[in-house]
């Protein structure tokens, strides 16, 4: 009997933990994601905020030793690679220093891939096109320039491949005005460098249920959590329905958007049906450090519930691709979204340990 393939486990990685001139101008001098994290406060008795780091501390991603420690911690606990968010705005790149130094130095010796976060930057932290700080503009010539840049990253021996092709994710596939054209133009530049056509994967975070193959992609990743399918999660206004729901938690508030981890998993499971997409497990969610009372809070997450969902995602990954299954995890270090595998002061490394132990028995 053939042994089931072990999924490659890829953790999404946010490079926001170092200052850049643009954030200094938009948010104040010295701003990093830690600025949001440390100003957070609880809104009700059981609300876990602030969530503060333990083992790695308030790390600065400009420091090579920090990046090496992250890779060591990930590798030791069964993570096969990082998927770095990649910010490209018509040839201008933001938050690129950590990845550039990983690429130029050859260290750490740990696999990686890229996810193009192709949405405008705004003051709302949700990708909505209001109060735009950095717009996204598309053109054929920019697609070609992007492809030339990506070819350099894809050529690195650490770059992760799927069926022999460089794995490249795009955060908002429907945000591209001409998805097939963009993919083909990027691929043409990559192939000019003697590399295979990338394996293009669309993330359905803003288009739940979409099969990105219909847009010209090779596959889809089903993101989690899917806020768009939760009741009222994208509505910041006062809601009597929300007031009634929160009242069951003994909280008299019609604005806070609070959901239970188990309910959120069930909502994601409806989107995971069939073999349409590679799965994504998530650690937790609480973006009130970024959005205050307009944020979304998912309560009752635990290492044990995370492990249960991991086991489900292993099965989904094998059903999606029996030969080279992929399993994404949200996230390595989304501290201001309450979604981090990096150890914190409440759970320590318990979520990481669940990856190691769970995958060893699947």
Confidence at residue 57, expressed as pLDDT on a 0 to 100 scale: 97
Residue 298 in any domain: the answer is: yes
Q: Domain containing 287 — which CATH number?
A: 3.20.20.80
Confidence at residue 124, expressed as pLDDT on a 0 to 100 scale: 67
Residue 345 in any domain: the answer is: yes
Reported as a single tens digit per residue, the pLDDT across 189-231 is 999 999 999 999 999 999 998 999 999 999 999 999 999 899 8
Residue 2 in any domain: the answer is: no
Structural domain harbouring 28: 8-360
CA distances to 14, 140, 226, 266, 279 from 230, rounded to whole Å, are 24, 36, 7, 10, 18
Q: What does the pLDDT average to over 31-48?
A: 95
Residue 150 in any domain: the answer is: yes
Residue 241 in any domain: the answer is: yes
Residue 1 in any domain: the answer is: no
Reported as a single tens digit per residue, the pLDDT across 137-182 is 999 999 999 999 999 999 999 999 999 999 999 999 999 999 999 9
- Return mean pLDDT, the chain: 94
Residue 20 in any domain: the answer is: yes
Q: For the chain, what percent of residues have pLDDT higher than 90?
A: 85
Contact 235, 225 (CB under 8 A): no
Helix (H), strand (E), coil (C) string for the chain: CCCCCCCEEEEEECCCCCCCHHHHHHHCCCCCHHHHHHHCCCCCCCCCCCCCECCCCCCCCCCHHHHHHHHHHHHHCCCCEEEEEEEEECCEEECCHHHHHHHHHCCCCCCEEEEECCCCEECCCCCCCCCEEECCCCCHHHHHHHHHHHHHHHCCCCECEECCEEEEEECCHHHCCCHHHHHHHHHHHHHHCCCCCCEEEEECCCCCCCCHHHHCCCEEECCCCCHHHCCCCCCCCCCHHHHHHHHCCCCCCCCCEEEEHHHHHHHHHHHCCCCCEECEEECCEECHHHHHHHCEEEECCCHHHHHHHHHHHHHHHHHHCCCCCEEEEECCEEHHHCEECCCECCCECHHHHHHHHHHHCC
Predicted confidence band at 125 (pLDDT cuts at 50, 70, 90)? low
93, β-bridge pairs: 88
Contact 295, 286 (CB under 8 A): yes
Confidence at residue 239, expressed as pLDDT on a 0 to 100 scale: 87
Reported as a single tens digit per residue, the pLDDT across 21-35 is 999 999 999 999 999
Tell me how crowded residue 2 is: count the other CB atoms within 10 A of its CB: 5
Predicted confidence band at 130 (pLDDT cuts at 50, 70, 90)? low
Predicted confidence band at 249 (pLDDT cuts at 50, 70, 90)? confident
Tell the residue number behind the tokens 């930057």, with chain if given.
121
**What is the reported pTM?**
0.96
Of the listed ranges 26-40, 189-203, 261-275, 301-315, the one predicted with least confidence:
261-275
Residue 1 has pLDDT above 60, yes or no: no
Number of structural domains (the chain) is: 1
Q: For the chain, what percent of residues have pLDDT higher than 70?
A: 98
Predicted confidence band at 2 (pLDDT cuts at 50, 70, 90)? low
Reported as a single tens digit per residue, the pLDDT across 69-124 is 999 999 999 999 999 999 999 999 999 999 999 999 999 999 999 999 999 998 76
Predicted confidence band at 252 (pLDDT cuts at 50, 70, 90)? confident
């Amino acid at each position: 009997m053939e042994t089931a393939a072990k999924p490659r486990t890829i953790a999404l990685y946010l490079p926001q933990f170092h200052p850049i001139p643009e954030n200094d101008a938009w948010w104040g001098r010295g701003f990093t994601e830690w600025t949001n994290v440390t100003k957070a406060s609880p809104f009700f008795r059981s609300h876990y905020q602030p969530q503060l780091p333990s083992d790695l501390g308030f790390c600065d991603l400009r420091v090579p030793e920090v990046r090496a420690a992250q890779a060591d911690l990930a590798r030791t606990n069964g993570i096969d690679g990082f998927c770095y968010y990649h910010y490209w705005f018509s040839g201008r790149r933001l938050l690129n220093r950590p990845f550039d130094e990983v690429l130029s130095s050859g260290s750490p010796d740990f696999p990686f891939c890229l996810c193009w976060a192709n949405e405008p930057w705004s003051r709302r932290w949700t990708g909505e096109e209001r109060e735009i700080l950095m717009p996204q503009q598309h053109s054929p010539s920019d697609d070609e320039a992007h492809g030339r840049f990506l070819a350099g990253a894809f050529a690195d021996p650490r770059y992760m491949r799927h069926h022999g092709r460089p794995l490249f994710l795009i955060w908002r596939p429907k945000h591209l005005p001409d998805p097939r054209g963009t993919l083909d133009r990027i691929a043409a530049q990559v192939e000019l460098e003697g590399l295979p056509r990338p394996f293009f994967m669309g993330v359905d975070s803003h288009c739940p249920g979409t099969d990105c193959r219909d847009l010209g992609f090779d596959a889809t990743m089903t993101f989690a959590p899917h806020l768009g399918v939760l009741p009222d999660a994208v509505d910041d206004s006062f809601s009597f329905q929300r007031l009634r729901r929160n009242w069951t938690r003994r909280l008299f508030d019609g604005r806070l958007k609070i959901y239970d981890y188990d309910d959120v998993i069930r909502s994601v499971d409806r989107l995971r049906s069939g073999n349409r997409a590679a799965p994504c497990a998530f650690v937790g969610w609480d973006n009130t450090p970024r959005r205050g009372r307009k944020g979304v809070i998912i309560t009752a997450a635990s290492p044990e519930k995370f492990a249960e969902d991991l086991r489900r995602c292993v099965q989904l990954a094998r059903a999606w691709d029996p030969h080279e299954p992929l399993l994404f995890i949200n996230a390595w270090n989304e501290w201001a979204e309450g979604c981090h595998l990096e150890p914190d002061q409440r759970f320590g490394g318990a979520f990481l340990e669940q990856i190691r132990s769970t995958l060893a028995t699947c």
